[in-house]
Structure 1
Amino acid sequence: MPAPRPAVPGAVNALAAAAWPLLLVASAMRLWPGRRPSARGQAPRPLSPVEMGMLRGGERGAGQTALVELYLAGSVEATWQRTVRRQEGAPSRGRSELARAQYGVLHVKRHPGRLRRFERVQQATEAVSHQLEREGLLLSRRRLFAVRAVLLTVLAAPPLAALAGLATGPGPYPTYLVFLADGFALLLWMRPRRTRHGDVLLHRLRREHARVRQASERAPAELLLSVALFGATALREQLPRFTAESGLLTRPPREPMDRGGGGSGEAFASCGG
């Protein structure tokens, strides 16, 4: 008599069975619109270009917008080896808090991606993020952490179910359904931090300000708005020289270009978008 086939482990079986319910829970947590950005009957607060950049591309989008703000004001310039430096004596007053924070750390030339390492820049970036979270336009980090904790459980189901199937034969749940849940989980994981309200607002702003896609440096306010709303496309098409020479759309080199800069946090914060 052939030896009986071992049963599929109960924990793996339960995980496979729970993949879709967990995905539904994560979807509800991630996509639930939450409170409206403004009270009923009140017009939403106009967003600054840096806030629009944050809404569009997260921390990286906000940093790009702030740096372009400084460039258009004549406060920074692109230098060799894809770096930027500030123009000594150039006024930084009247700029956004994030732009002023970036200007403050550009006492030597740096790659734009390295500016986010500095505590002063991080604090200014977090202030923009928290404001948009309070207004219901960005998902809070606590909520995002909870969503991703659930999604990690869903993402663990396919490999475990596949291994169990190889060892013991097919289980009671079709493997392709578990992998399908895994695909939806990856889509949720990669979504920007924008809430549904944030998505609606960004689409409306892009529609209302479509004309800024034709702006040049002769109209700095409109050009800054274009960068805030359209990101890399606007940078490549409307600011090609500054974008290429500053390395604004490139990753910083592995080795720091200016050793011993001081005052920086070494954690590189990525952003979205």
Structure 2
Amino acid sequence: MLVITTGAAWFLLLTGAALRLRPGPDRLGRPLSPAEAALLRGGGRAAAQTGMVELYLAGSVEAGWQQTVRPAKALLPRPCSEVARAQYHALYGARHPRGLLRDSERVQEAVHAMSAELERARLMVSRRRVWCVRVLLLPVCAAPLGSPRWLGLLAALGAAALWIWPRRTLRGSALLAKMRLDHAGAREATVQQPDQLLLSVALFGTAALRAQLPRFAEESGLLTRPPREPMDRGGSGSGEPFASCGG
């Protein structure tokens, strides 16, 4: 039976932490857009959700029948995020909003490009890096640990925390926390303040949608799963239908 020494466990843990958290300066050099802030907070689904709210506040989409969205009378807002633009051009008829991210390559590519930019800015890490770190930490989590046991247990707990840590780096988490603090007043915004309302949705997600856009959130299906297609029974999918190729 393989036994991991305490020293080896801590070496793997510290190596994994350096790869996973990527401490260092912010390389973006500009404020985050609402869609980027949403991506940092909750991944691709949050970014697509924020892009859809961006279109709704501009009058470009509206809630459809049975928890769907459909094109409205207004044209594509200018300027707008690339995620919102991709969803606008991918929306033909009434669709469930999450179905656009699941089925549209154009929307997936827009989210992927935005994710890659935040990875280069050291605010996020790629999915490939996340899985590489998990493989590195697997012996710490799975193999029996040597003595002293309490140090080994601390290493195992640290590995478990890194295993479930979101894709944000330390810098990304600090930036998100600062934005939430600086823009706490956005949680009181109404549709007459679309920029602040969009920022609230980007930073606070579901809570902001339910409190500030309850009717649209309910009628559009933004907070529900898309219905399964007939050939999709019993299948399973990942939380986001794309993977980053960054290192």
- TM-score band, normalised by shorter chain: 0.7 to 0.9
Q: Is the 8 A contact 2:27 2:122 kept in 1?
A: yes
Measure the CA separation in 2 of the matches of 1:213 and 1:105.
Answer: 30
Measure the CA separation in 2 of the matches of 1:140 and 1:156.
Answer: 24
| Inter-CA distance 183–245: structure 2 relative to 1 (3 Å threshold) | farther
Deviation (angstroms), 1:203: 1.5
| Inter-CA distance 179–75: structure 2 relative to 1 (3 Å threshold) | same
Cα distance per residue 1:83-131 (max 9 Å; x no partner) = 21222x4201412111111112210322222111211001100111111
Q: Is the 8 A contact 2:50 2:202 kept in 1?
A: yes
Q: Is the 8 A contact 1:79 1:245 kept in 2?
A: yes
- Equivalent residue runs for 1:187-202 within 5 Å: 187-202=161-176
Q: Is the 8 A contact 1:76 1:86 kept in 2?
A: yes
Amino acid at match of 1:71: Y
What residue number does 2:91 align with?
A: 106
Match of 2:74 among 90, 94, 97: 90
Amino acid at match of 2:66: Q
Q: Is the 8 A contact 1:76 1:85 kept in 2?
A: yes
Say if 2:44 is the partner of 1:59. yes
What residue number does 1:46 align with?
A: 31
Q: Supply the RMSD in Å over aligned alpha carbons.
A: 2.7
Amino acid at match of 1:30: R
Match of 1:154 among 140, 147, 152: 140
TM-score (norm 2): 0.83
TM-score (norm 1): 0.76
What residue number does 2:129 align with?
A: 143
Say if 2:225 is the partner of 1:251. yes
| Inter-CA distance 250–17: structure 2 relative to 1 (3 Å threshold) | farther
Measure the CA separation in 2 of the matches of 1:142 and 1:52.
Answer: 21
What residue number does 2:211 align with?
A: 237
Moved more, 109-118 or 210-219: 109-118
Amino acid at match of 2:59: G
Measure the CA separation in 1 of the matches of 2:155 and 2:66.
Answer: 45
Cα distance per residue 1:165-212 (max 9 Å; x no partner) = xxxxxx965777666544432321221211111112112211211111
Q: Is the 8 A contact 2:4 2:140 kept in 1?
A: no
Amino acid at match of 1:37: R
Cα distance per residue 1:227-273 (max 9 Å; x no partner) = 0111111111111111112221222222269xxxxxxxx975529xx
Amino acid at match of 1:68: V
| Inter-CA distance 172–230: structure 2 relative to 1 (3 Å threshold) | closer
**Structure 2 alignment gaps of length 5 or more:** 242-247
Match of 2:193 among 214, 219, 224: 219
| Inter-CA distance 112–153: structure 2 relative to 1 (3 Å threshold) | farther
Q: Is the 8 A contact 1:17 1:173 kept in 2?
A: no
Amino acid at match of 1:69: E
Measure the CA separation in 2 of the matches of 1:176 and 1:222.
Answer: 48
Q: Partner of 2:70: helix, strand, or coil? A: strand
Q: Partner of 1:197: helix, strand, or coil? A: helix
Deviation (angstroms), 1:155: 2.9
Q: Partner of 1:85: helix, strand, or coil? A: strand
**Structure 1 alignment gaps of length 5 or more:** 1-8, 39-43, 162-170, 258-265
Cα distance per residue 1:46-70 (max 9 Å; x no partner) = 2211111111111111111101001
Amino acid at match of 1:138: M
What residue number does 1:270 align with?
A: 240
Structure ID, larger Rg = 1
What residue number does 1:81 align with?
A: 66
Measure the CA separation in 1 of the matches of 2:26 and 2:195.
Answer: 28
Deviation (angstroms), 1:18: 3.9
Measure the CA separation in 1 of the matches of 2:59 and 2:160.
Answer: 42
What residue number does 2:19 align with?
A: 29
Q: Partner of 1:13: helix, strand, or coil? A: coil
| Inter-CA distance 109–155: structure 2 relative to 1 (3 Å threshold) | farther
Amino acid at match of 1:150: L
Match of 2:100 among 94, 97, 115: 115
